[in-house]
Amino acid sequence: MMSGLHKAPPRHLIILTNNHPEDAVRDSAKLAPKGMKITLGKWTVKTMLQAAKISHYVLIPSDVNDPRKSGVSPGRLLTSLAMGLPVVASPLDSYMPFKEFFSIIGTEEGFKTMKNPLEYDNKILKAQDIISQRYTVKAIESEWVDVVRDQ
């Protein structure tokens, strides 16, 4: 697990996605604050790790009313926390068991997280402790062994 955030607020938005909505990014860039750099990249493990090394926080927007999102896992949320980054995300059902560890987009807490990500280090450390106990390959493997053994 990683820790250690950068000191200054970001002036660079990195968007990693499997879809490349270049026109949407170009149009949104026109609305961004002056001096904000926006970079669009394909999501891969490598690009995610590269972005995490220079990021202050992770923003995970989604549409809670989209039925396709009702079955998503908390993987993005947990991965971001495991990398030591504060998270501001949409309140997807699968994220809510971890609500004490992330801020919700559009709320006062979400804006505070984006302005002062270093203030959330304790939340991240607590989340990393839970992740290491329950969500590592070894922890999940152990749970499966217990299930099979009990059959």
State whether residue 103 is helix, strand or coil: strand
| Mean pLDDT confidence for 71-91 | 93
Q: Mean pLDDT across the chain, nearest whole number?
A: 86
| Structure tokens, 29 | 């860039």
The pair phi, psi for residue 60, each rounded to 5°, is -120, 85
Q: What is the pLDDT of residues 29-55, one digit of tens each?
A: 777 777 888 888 888 999 999 999 999
Q: pTM of this prediction?
A: 0.81
DSSP class per residue in 56-100: S-EEE---TT-GGGTT--SHHHHHHHHTT--EEE---GGGGGGGG
